[in-house]
Amino acid sequence: MAKTALITGILGQDGPYLAKFLLEKDYKIYGLVRRYSNPNFGNLEYLKIADKVDYVEGDMADEASLLNLIRVIRPTEIYNLAAQSFVAASFEQARLTTEVNSLGVLHLLNAIKMFSPTTKFYQASTSEMFGLQ
């Protein structure tokens, strides 16, 4: 059975490189693209893999969209690279930042538990989430 990976944050700085790495290992790649956003596929196009990814719409703050997504694709692996990572915006939009960065993880884990319990999950994050050191 072919391995499948869902990459959230696929349009960010690391997502395209992870997608390229996994494609070279013959994975089928699903890339989560936020609804109502203006997606920039530049990095994927630069790496010449934009047409090798299946894009799926969803929102880390919308549990229903994530539940449905995991129920349908049942990926072998999930790489959660999605996050509100702009420090100024995180303070200006504290509620949204919490919904995306914290509750979004909970939504994904709940979806895995319900619909795809053998899925492996990777959570990317930063030490900044623990505050000033």
pLDDT tens track for 27-83: 999 999 987 666 788 899 999 999 999 999 999 989 999 999 999 999 999 999 987
Average pLDDT over residues 20-25: 98
Average pLDDT over residues 80-89: 76
Fold of 4-124: Rossmann fold (3.40.50)
Query: What are the structure tokens assigned to 16, written together?
Result: 């395209």
SS (H, E, C) the chain: CCCEEEEECCCCCCHHHHHHHHHCCCCEEEEEEECCCCCCCHHHHHCCCHHHEEEEEECCCCHHHHHHHHHHHCCCEEEECCCCCCHHHHHHCHHHHHHHHHHHHHHHHHHHHHHCCCCEEEECCCHHHHCCC
Quote the pLDDT of residue 15. Answer: 95
Judged against a pLDDT cut of 70, whether residue 112 lies above it is answered with yes
Q: Which amino acid type is present at position 123?
A: Q
Whether the model clears a pTM of 0.85, i.e. scores above it, the answer is yes
Extents of the domains making up the chain: 4-124
Q: Mean pLDDT of all residues in the chain?
A: 88
